Amino acid sequence: MLSPLELALLKSLEIGRRFSVDEAAELSGMKKDTVFKVVQYLKEKGLAEIETRIIREYSLTEEGKKYLENGFPEEKVLRLLDEGRALNEIEKEIGKKEAGIGIGWLRKKGIVAIEKGRVKVKERKPFEEREALKLLERGEAFRISDELLRVLLKRKLVSIEEHKEIYVKILEIPEAELKEVISDLTPEILLTGKWKEADFLKYDIKIPSEDIFTGKIHPYERIISECRKIFLEMGFTEIKGNYVQTSFWNFDALFQPQDHPARDMQDTFYLDEYVDLKDEQVEAVSKTHENGWKTGSTGWGGEWSLKRAEQLVLRTHTTAITIHHLANNSEPPVKAFCIDRVFRRESIDATHLPEFEQLEGVVLDRKVGFRDLLGLLREFFLKMGFEDVRFRPGYFPYTEPSVEPEVYVEGLGWVELGGAGIFREEVTLPLGIKDKVLAWGLGIGRLAMLRLGMKDLRRLYVPDIGWLRKTPVISSKKGGK
Amino acid sequence: MPVIQLFWDELERLVGRGREEILEKLPMLGCDIERVEEETIDIEFFPNRPDLYSVEGVVRALRGFLDVEHGYREYRVEKGDWKVTVESQVFEVRPRIVSCIVRDIEITDEVIRSLMEIQEDLHWTIGRNRRKMAIGVHDLSKVYFPLRYTAVDSSFSFIPLDFENVMSVGEILEKHPKGKVYSFILEGKDRFPMIIDSRDEAISFPPIINAEKTRVTEDTTDLFVDVTGFDNNVDSALNILTTMLSDRGGKIEEVEIMYPDRTEITPDLEGKTMTVRKDEIESLLGFELENKEIELALGKMRFGVSKSNTEFEIRIPPYRADILHRWDIIEDIAIGYGYNRIEPEYPPTTTIGMRHSWNEIRDASKEIMTGLGYLEVITFTLTNERTQYEKMRRKFNADCIQVMHPITEEHTLIRTDILPKLIELLSMNRHHTLPQKIFEVGDVVTGMKNRLRLAACSTHSRANFSEVRSAVQAVMKELDLEWGVTDCDDGIFIEGRRGKITVEEKDAGVFGEIHPEVLENFQIMNPVVGFEIDLSTIFDTGIVL
């Protein structure tokens, strides 16, 4: 296969004729450098010959020009001799040096001889040097005999310059290459239909091209979408809440005692802001905390502080949202879920973040119980790709019974994945929720770590663009699902 | 949650079962096994079960759960002639006291260690760091009855535990190691709780420190235990402690607590009863159970059942502080029955799933942005004034949410804008190949409410205004919005290369070329262009609770 340049050169030069690189460059419209390179390739392919010649160029020296104009010293001496001048007179006339050169050459050529101190003309001969210089001046150096040239060079009347000239001769053009070869397909080629008579240049398909990067969804967001899809498929309604909540919805409504350690400043981001709360629900919650109200519970005892319930917090769990939704939608059946950001007052390390996503689902219905909660959990985890699920007793302040589901992960064993339970009556009754509420939640970051094989949660929220670029949209090596 | 360490030989001996069986069944009783060693096991029990914070308590529960011993364990309380008078001065500071006498107990190092550990754990859990409840344990032979529980002023003096000299209450609160740690509980008080014996010597300064004179030593055989506080948490703690010491072989004697208006006899180890209907059990658990199965499960969990038919009269062990409500017992029935024996069933509740419009808009935005070749990122919403405003050449937004006790200077408020987070992110990713085009669609909080925002940035050597305007044009077109541009004075952008996006004459976002001073603040060496659109202004994002 010939390159387009090789082909172009082959086509612009006549086969068998020798061209200089200059000529070839002019004929092909290429630069001399390019011609030279292309010819080398053609030579390797046996399609061209390269010939290097040494060219000599002669020119008159300053002295040569002077002799041609004013006459050679031997000519001058001979003329004066013919006028009968004596040697000392000649020397006086043209200078001793020139007279010496003239007599020297006349004697050498056998034109004069010195007899008894006198110069005597013996024989007349033509001066070939003058003719030679004239030829040189006309650029006809090739007419001058090598012997004479040597003499002129020796007499420093002529100088010589040598240089190389490269000649190219195309030997043949292979038949198959005569067709035009297309590299970039252009609108012009399409318009003219030139491609019909042309071949396409075959590229080296093994050479990698420049890397480009796709715009895509964050891998963690993809997992969140998957969870949302599962909930929606199971008939759950998606709900949404503000990050800022009252302590009432975040804690009190969930029967978290006001002196519970989880409510400490240590673990919760409080705001120095309060909102007014006062309605029947708040009243009922207050009594439930103090003495159980109508729930049949003993309550926590002590005095419940409205002020503490009115303080705003960055929600510590999405249960603040699900319970609020149930309080507003207290008639069964309700199925709702929420996947959203929660905040904890924790120092950042590989497994602890001050904010992270939590997933939470609730079912409010009459004829459901603990067994249905386990069924729901098993189904959910199965859809998430965990085939083995088991249940252990757990403890959460607002559920009874409580359960900690665990899933089996190859290589890790049983991994605890969230918590679940049935909302206590101390939670549901004061808010007028009409029946049992099955609830479960999990820190979805842990799920992401399992799925993405990550060891550092920070990577999700402080993204390294390199990591995002190289994390595939779908993994063929994904374990589980 | 407290983690307790138990010794295998003791545990196996007292439970009467082997290590393997204990290890297998323990998690099904409700706990996390933290670590298993050749000689010991570390277990984390849930905070609602302080009765399990001692080897005696764990043994008691396991013997029931593993069918070694069934049902309710009776605790005898002998009559005694011990009196404590509660004087009204103490009502304001720490009104309740309960106590008991424990006789004939062999005080080994092991018992002292176990006592100190459970005291510590109870102080932390039930006592909320001694605020609600504090325990004192004394050598009975050094205590001269009758006692007075009263309140004294700060000049009252005695020799506190671990000291040789007399100190006043004021000095103890200032100088004694325990005084320094717990003085916060009595802050602002001018009277201080004190238990004083008939020789007018202090034996305890609750909730801070005991007197040195009643120190428990290896020669001690009889104990006096006092628990002070405010409400029935003191009874729970006393019962847990008393039953544990009884399980150790101690004989319990009662103490008469005389208030001005009434007399209480403590401890009360009778065990309260609660009636639970069978249909409520079945409804909560979601499946039917034989009466025998329910009784068996209750017995395994060490409850007593005195009457059973359509309802059960259940006797609650005196150490169970967590039974507030019938459902607490029903959970124990489920645990006793075995969570692993319950066949899960998908609930019959049929409803139709619905997406929230907040997330629908969010999803649509993601589709548009990825289509434009932008990479999605997620960032923290916690940030700080410097990154959010100062370094952005923007004014502080008074509508932002500031947290009260930030952990680091980096996280002091919740973002009101996403664009600064993206610029910060680009700065952290300078080492990666350009062009970089990133976006985030998520929450900001202004005036306590979440808003949905879409922000994007593009950086490469030739990033310019027309690029970002094209992007905004494309986004607005795909959102099917009529929009306009007005001048803006947002310092984050270069003057003359910035615009405000308006939709129906409302400000709905900004776009432009990021100001070089901002780039310099983040050591970014390539031009950056960006935009941020407030989707909550444009769309109805649904109910946000």
Q: pLDDT, tens digit, for every residue of B154-197?
A: 999 999 999 999 999 999 999 999 999 999 999 999 999 999 99
Kindly state whether B23 is in contact with chain A, defined as any CB-CB distance less than 8 angstroms: no
Instruction: Compute the mean pLDDT over every residue in chain A, rounded to the nearest whole number.
Output: 89
pLDDT digits (tens, 9 = 90+) for B464-482: 999 999 999 999 999 999 9
Rounded CA gap, A428 and A288, in Å? 11
State whether B327 and A239 contact (CB < 8 Å).
no
H-run or E-run covering B495: strand B493-503
pLDDT digits (tens, 9 = 90+) for A200-238: 888 888 888 888 999 999 999 999 999 999 999 999 999
State whether B450 and A243 contact (CB < 8 Å).
yes
State whether A392 and B373 contact (CB < 8 Å).
no
- Interface A-B: count of C-beta contacts within 8 A: 278
pLDDT of residue A55: 82
- A51 vs A142 pLDDT, higher one: A51
Mutate to test the interface with A, among B26, B235, B284 (most CBs of A within 10 A): B284
| Bridge-based pairing state of the strands B401-402 and B506-514 | unpaired
Token pair belonging to A403: 């359960």
User: Which residues between 138 and 197 in chain A have a beta carbon less than 8 angstroms from any beta carbon of chain B?
Assistant: none
Contact yes or no for B248/B105 (Cβ under 8 A): yes
* pLDDT band at residue B85 under the 50/70/90 scheme: very high
SS3 (DSSP) at B280? helix
- Dihedral angle at the C-alpha atoms of A184, A189, A194, A197, nearest 10 degrees? 20
Kindly state whether A363 is in contact with chain B, defined as any CB-CB distance less than 8 angstroms: yes
Q: How far is B205 from chain A (nearest CA, A)?
A: 23
- B435 vs A174 pLDDT, higher one: B435
Distances (CA, A) of B458 to A231, A288, B452, B461, B475: 35, 55, 21, 10, 15
pLDDT at A440 over 60: yes
What is the CA angle B242-B248-B249, rounded to 5? 95
Q: Which residues of B336-362 are buried (b: 16+ CB within 10 A; e: fewer)?
A: bbebeebebbebebebebbebbbbebb
Q: Label residue A478 left, alpha or beta by phi (over 0 means left) and psi (-120 to 50 means alpha).
A: beta
Rounded CA gap, A374 and A363, in Å? 12
Distances (CA, A) of B504 to B22, B467, B542: 70, 24, 20
Which residues have a Cβ under 8 Å from the Cβ of A444 and sit 6 or more positions away?
A223, A224, A227, A339, A356, A357, A358, A359
Token pair belonging to B472: 């905004």
pLDDT of residue A477: 61
Contact yes or no for B292/B93 (Cβ under 8 A): no
User: Rounded to two decimals, what is the model's pTM?
Assistant: 0.81
Rounded CA gap, A331 and B232, in Å? 36
Q: How far is B218 from chain A (nearest CA, A)?
A: 36
State whether B407 and A235 contact (CB < 8 Å).
no
Which chain A residues are within 8 Å of B131, Cβ to Cβ? Answer: 259
Q: How far apart are the two ends of chain B, measured CA to CA in Å?
A: 32
Which residue type is seen at A244?
A: V
User: Which residues between 230 and 269 in chain B have a beta carbon less than 8 angstroms from any beta carbon of chain A?
Assistant: 230-233
pLDDT at B71 over 90: yes
Kindly state whether A293 is in contact with chain B, defined as any CB-CB distance less than 8 angstroms: no
Contact yes or no for B58/B68 (Cβ under 8 A): no
State whether B429 and A465 contact (CB < 8 Å).
yes
pLDDT at A177 over 70: no
Kindly state whether B402 is in contact with chain A, defined as any CB-CB distance less than 8 angstroms: yes
pLDDT digits (tens, 9 = 90+) for B287-332: 999 999 999 999 999 999 987 789 999 999 999 999 999 999 999 9
The reply to whether ipTM tops 0.85 is yes
Contact yes or no for B125/B47 (Cβ under 8 A): yes
Rounded CA gap, A91 and A22, in Å? 54
Q: Does the CA dihedral A260-A266-A269-A271 come out positive or negative?
A: positive
Rounded CA gap, B99 and B81, in Å? 13
Q: Considering chain A, what percentage of its residues have pLDDT values greater than 70?
A: 98
> Picking from A256-270, B10-24, B124-138, B371-385, which range would have the lowest pLDDT averaged per residue?
A256-270
Question: Hey, what domains does chain B have and what are their CATH numbers?
Answer: 3-65 (3.30.56.10), 77-266 (3.50.40.10), 275-313+321-340 (3.30.56.10), 357-538 (3.30.930.10)
Kindly state whether B285 is in contact with chain A, defined as any CB-CB distance less than 8 angstroms: yes
pLDDT at A40 over 80: yes
Which chain A residues are within 8 Å of B273, Cβ to Cβ? Answer: none
Contact yes or no for B473/B501 (Cβ under 8 A): no
Three-state secondary structure along B419-457?
Answer: HHHHHHHHHHCCCCCCCEEEEEEEEEEECCEEEEEEEEE
User: Which residues between 201 and 220 in chain A have a beta carbon less than 8 angstroms from any beta carbon of chain B?
Assistant: 211, 213-218, 220
User: Which residues between 402 and 461 in chain A have a beta carbon less than 8 angstroms from any beta carbon of chain B?
Assistant: 402-403, 422, 424-426, 436, 438, 460-461
Kindly state whether B359 is in contact with chain A, defined as any CB-CB distance less than 8 angstroms: yes
> Picking from A125-134, A176-185, B58-67, B253-262, which range would have the lowest pLDDT averaged per residue?
A176-185
pLDDT at A480 over 60: no
pLDDT at A117 over 80: no
Report the residue of chain B nearest A312, measured CA to CA: B448
pLDDT of residue A1: 67
State whether A292 and B325 contact (CB < 8 Å).
yes
Q: Label residue A356 left, alpha or beta by phi (over 0 means left) and psi (-120 to 50 means alpha).
A: beta
Token pair belonging to A393: 């007793």
Q: How far is B198 from chain A (nearest CA, A)?
A: 32
| Mean pLDDT, rounded, for A333-339 | 97
* pLDDT band at residue A135 under the 50/70/90 scheme: confident
Rounded CA gap, B101 and B84, in Å? 12
Kindly state whether A257 is in contact with chain B, defined as any CB-CB distance less than 8 angstroms: no
* pLDDT band at residue A479 under the 50/70/90 scheme: very low
Distances (CA, A) of A476 to A459, A472, A480: 22, 9, 11
Which residues have a Cβ under 8 Å from the Cβ of A274 and sit 6 or more positions away?
A307, A310, A311, A312
Q: How far is A275 from chain B (nearest CA, A)?
A: 11
Which residues have a Cβ under 8 Å from the Cβ of A402 and sit 6 or more positions away?
A393, A394, A395, A396, A419, A420, A421, B331
Rounded CA gap, B164 and B89, in Å? 29
Report the residue of chain A nearest B32, measured CA to CA: A394
State whether B379 and A217 contact (CB < 8 Å).
no
SS3 (DSSP) at B59? helix
Report the residue of chain A nearest B335, measured CA to CA: A393
State whether A328 and B545 contact (CB < 8 Å).
yes
State whether A314 and B414 contact (CB < 8 Å).
yes
Contact yes or no for B512/B541 (Cβ under 8 A): no
Q: Considering chain A, what percentage of its residues have pLDDT values greater than 90?
A: 43
- B169 vs A110 pLDDT, higher one: B169
pLDDT of residue B242: 96
Kindly state whether B293 is in contact with chain A, defined as any CB-CB distance less than 8 angstroms: no
Residue A470: CB atoms within 10 A of its CB come to 9
